[in-house]
Amino acid sequence: AQTVTQSQPEMSVQEAETVTLSCTYDTSESDYYLFWYKQPPSRQMILVIRQEAYKQQNATENRFSVNFQKAAKSFSLKISDSQLGDAAMYFCAYRGDNYGQNFVFGPGTRLSVLP
């Protein structure tokens, strides 16, 4: 079974600085999808960024980018120019390539942004 690990329960960053959240996963599949979700205090789950495993190029969405290392099974999220609104729980998630496949979530990292 696939597993997703986020080894940093809590992180903090100074406003305007850069922070990297770690995520590793375990799978025997060759094709899959990876995601980062943000959950602010409102508890709404917001998709931040997605990565297809067959794509070598790292995904980027504005201030958010990933470092996808397929061989190492690593999928870290980098937040540049951190803003107060970035404070939230961040979840890394895995989806296999089979229709109906469950999503596997990591335990989350709580990010604080310091003014």
Chain residues that interact with other proteins, rule: CB under 8 A: 33, 35, 37, 43-45, 47, 50, 91, 93, 95, 97, 99-100, 102-103, 105-108, 110
Nearest residue to 95 via CA among 25, 16, 8, 6 = 25
Query: Rounded to the nearest whole angstrom, what is the least distance from the CB of residue 101 to other proteins in the complex?
Result: 9
Residue 86's identity, in one-letter code, is D
Q: Chain-centre distance of CA 84, in angstroms?
A: 18
**Closer Cβ to other proteins, 16 or 55, answer by number:** 55
Query: Rounded to the nearest whole angstrom, what is the least distance from the CB of residue 15 to other proteins in the complex?
Result: 23
- Give yes or no for a contact between 19 and 85, defined as CB atoms under 8 angstroms apart: no
* SS3 label, residue 86: helix
**Closer Cβ to other proteins, 16 or 45, answer by number:** 45
What's the rounded Cα separation, in Å, for the pair 86 and 71? 29
Query: Rounded to the nearest whole angstrom, what is the least distance from the CB of residue 93 to other proteins in the complex?
Result: 7
**Closer Cβ to other proteins, 16 or 46, answer by number:** 46
Query: Rounded to the nearest whole angstrom, what is the least distance from the CB of residue 63 to other proteins in the complex?
Result: 19
Alpha carbons within 13 A on the beta-carbon side of 77: 31
**Closer Cβ to other proteins, 52 or 80, answer by number:** 52
